[in-house]
Structure formats: structure tokens, C-alpha cells
Amino acid sequence: SQQGEEDPQALSIQEGENATMNCSYKTSINNLQWYRQNSGRGLVHLILIRSNEREKHSGRLRVTLDTSKKSSSLLITASRAADTASYFCATDGGSGNTGKLIFGQGTTLQVKP
Amino acid sequence: DAGVIQSPRHEVTEMGQEVTLRCKPISGHNSLFWYRQTMMRGLELLIYFNNNVPIDDSGMPEDRFSAKMPNASFSTLKIQPSEPRDSAVYFCASTLQGGLTDTQYFGPGTRLTVL
């Protein structure tokens, strides 16, 4: 099974609301990343959080990491229609800087205007 | 930089035909990854290279799939013969292994349809 499992699989909210997506993983990690994929496009890196960090911000994005629970969350505040996309978490699986990532199944977010 | 370049963007072929997908990684990146994405199976890692050498091809579905990286600026993924179940979007991604992060940069993908 996938290293990362996102929850929920799909999320629909109104513009201006906050969106929270969760990711769980199985093995130890060095870092965890979140990516976004717009329909018909490749994945785009959003944010990376290292295993010794608990929280990180980037603009309207807030990522938390709980290594004891092997879980992470991505919060998008004040969502916009343009945030409509699929969001994936990815871990290195503790692979020791090989560059290889393991992606989850993704959360599909729809932001209604 | 132009980013990761993939060609073609769309490919429609008939079952049994050979398909070749191409990828040019970001200049200076030393790791390259081929993924396949379908609704049923999500994003699957097929194979990845480091310094042009295949490191892990355990995700390659079967012998019909092969990948090469003859130099640091070019890679191909070949399917021969193709089957309808190979229909998917194929992504290439590159990264600088040994850098500060493992951030991968994805190309736009090749949408393959096998009839």
C-alpha cells in the first residue's frame, strides 16, 4: 500500500473557508512534502517539512507534522477557487537522501466560488 | 530554466504498437523519475535514475516496459507492444539528489491512449 494516505479523498468547500487535509504514513521519514496537481498538469511542490519540525507556514498554507503519530496536515486558509486541485503528500520513507519519494493517493479539493 | 520537458503531450496509438515517451530533465539535476498516473492506481513510480544509472526499476509493470537514460539531459520510456491497460498519464520528474531537499520537479505529462 502507499506510504502516504490522504484523508479525506475528496473535499468540497465554499470560497473563503479553510480546507484541511490529512496524511498518514507508515515508516520513519527525514521529511514530508506536499504537492498540488491542477487538472491535466504535473505535480507542483508546495512545501516541505523536516522530521524535526512541527509546523511550517508558507503564505496561506500551514503544515503540521506529528512524527509520533506518523501524520501530517495541510491547512489552506481563506480558500480561493484557484485552489481547486488535488493535493498529495510525499515522504522519503527514510530513504536517506536518494531523492526517491513515495506519494499518497491524494485529496481532491473543490472550492466553489 | 524551462523546467522538465516531456514529449509528446498526447499520444494515441493502437494496441500492439510501440510507444516512446521522452523526457528532458532540468539542467543540473542528477536524478530522474518516471511515474504513471491512473484513476484506479493513483501515482505509481515506475523507475528512477541517478547519474544516468537505473537505481530502482521495481515499479516497471512488465517486460513490455523499458527505460533508458543515455545522457544527463535525455531519457526515454518505451512500451512495446502497447496494450489498452497502459492508457494513463506518464510523468517525468527530476531532482538534485544530494541537495538540501528531495523536491521533485514534474513535467506536464504525456497522456497515452491505447486503443
User: pLDDT in tens for each of the 113 residues of chain A?
Assistant: 345 678 888 999 999 999 999 999 988 888 899 999 999 899 999 999 999 999 999 999 999 999 999 999 999 999 999 999 999 999 887 665 567 788 888 999 999 99
| pLDDT, position B61 | 87
Q: Taking a contact as any Cβ pair under 8 Å apart, which residues of chain A between 33 and 52 contact chain B?
A: 33, 40-45, 48
In the numeric block, the cell 480546507 is attached to A19
| pLDDT, position A96 | 58
Give chain A positions within 8 Å (CB) of B93. 42-43
What is the C-alpha to C-alpha distance for residues A75 and A79, in angstroms, rounded to an integer? 10
Residue A95 vs residue B10, higher pLDDT: B10
- For residue A97, give the nearest of B4, B42, B97 by CB distance: B97
A104 to chain B, minimum CA–CA distance in Å? 8
Arithmetic mean of pLDDT, B32-45: 92
| pLDDT, position A95 | 61
Give chain B positions within 8 Å (CB) of A101. 45, 102, 104
Spell out the long-range contacts of A46-55 with Cβ–Cβ below 8 A and sequence spacing 24 or more.
Answer: A46/A74, A46/A87, A47/A74, A48/B101, A48/B102, A48/B103
- A45:B105 CB<8 A: yes
Comparing A5-9, B41-45, B66-70, B72-76, which segment has the lowest mean pLDDT?
A: A5-9
Beta-carbon-side half-sphere exposure of residue A100 (alpha carbons within 13 Å): 20
| pLDDT, position A94 | 67
- For residue A45, give the nearest of B31, B96, B103 by CB distance: B103
| pLDDT, position A109 | 97
**Vertex B52: Cα angle to B54 and B73 (nearest 5):** 135
Residue B41 vs residue A16, higher pLDDT: A16
Name the band, by pLDDT with cuts 50, 70 and 90, for residue B46. very high
- Residue A41 has what DSSP assignment? S
| pLDDT, position B41 | 87
- A42:B91 CB<8 A: yes
- A92:B102 CB<8 A: yes
Closest CA to A28 of A76, A79, A94: A94
A39-70 burial, b at 16+ Cβ within 10 Å, e below that, comes to eebbbebbbbbeeeeeeeeeeebbbbbeeeeb
| pLDDT, position B98 | 63
Name the band, by pLDDT with cuts 50, 70 and 90, for residue B1. low
Q: CB of B55 within 8 Å of any CB in chain A?
A: yes
| pLDDT, position A2 | 40
A53 to chain B, minimum CA–CA distance in Å? 14
Q: Quick check: B94 and B105 in contact, CB under 8 A?
A: yes
Query: Identity (one letter) of the amino acid at B53?
Result: V
